[in-house]
Amino acid sequence: MRALVYGGAFNPPTKAHIELADFSRKEAGFEKVIFVPSKMRYIQDDQKKDFAFKDEERLAMLRKIADSRDWMEVSDYELLSKEQPRTYFTLCHLREMGCECSLLFGSDKLAELETVWQHVDDIAHEFGIYCMERYEDDCEAMMKNDPYLQKLIPYVTIIHTPSDFRSVSSTQVRKLYLEAVNNLNEIADLIPEELDGLRDYICA
């Protein structure tokens, strides 16, 4: 199976996560996208997010969305690991499971590769990277003008995504959720229809 591996918080999953991943899969000619949610502890302690849905909640959301999409799979590998694995080791695990995979991420991650990520060269050389344009990012210019990113150009495929969902983010959804936990109508346009009853996935 050829698959793009899409890791992240998915805190919560949004239409951007789903629609742009599917678009990228089609553009790149892959069969599947494997969503790999990271640990709540990592999201809160390392990424310093304002709020994190629990591991089981985010996993349940992704699996619910995947139920009606034959191109989408969900891996609990990172959630079940004792410590949060680095992306390279997640890719290695999926390769050992028989998956011919490449990494997929949004263009907001490009700026983090040099200082936050580990094993970037190994990821690039062994797996390859597909980068989805988000917001108003010009990925070609970002990479061309950055000395570190320049050396990765041969290993990164830019996906020029449609504008519809480029600016939708989990941050927006969390903000609305925390401000109006009993009125979720405002976030209906930001999340997949399977999560319209978002409160159903929230543990008491």
Mention every residue, 6+ apart, whose C-beta is less than 8 A from residue 193.
none
Whether the model pTM is above 0.85 = yes
State yes or no: pLDDT of 167 exceeds 90: no
- Is residue 85 left, alpha or beta, with left meaning phi > 0 and alpha meaning psi from -120 to 50? beta
Average pLDDT over residues 83-95: 96
DSSP state of 14: -
Residue-wise pLDDT tens digits, 106-123: 999 999 999 999 999 999
Residue-wise pLDDT tens digits, 2-53: 999 999 999 999 999 999 999 999 999 999 999 999 998 767 666 667 677 8
CATH class of segment(s) 2-201: alpha beta
Between CA 78 and CA 139 the distance in angstroms is 28
The overall average pLDDT reported for the chain is 90
pLDDT of residue 48: 65
Between CA 178 and CA 82 the distance in angstroms is 29
pLDDT of residue 50: 66
pLDDT of residue 172: 85
Could you tell me if 143 and 156 are in contact, meaning their C-beta atoms sit under 8 angstroms apart?
yes
Position of tokens 């990277």? 129
CA 29 to chain centre: 18
Q: Is 23 exposed, middle or buried (0-12, 13-18, 19+ CB in 10 A)?
A: middle
pLDDT of residue 187: 79
State yes or no: pLDDT of 183 exceeds 60: no
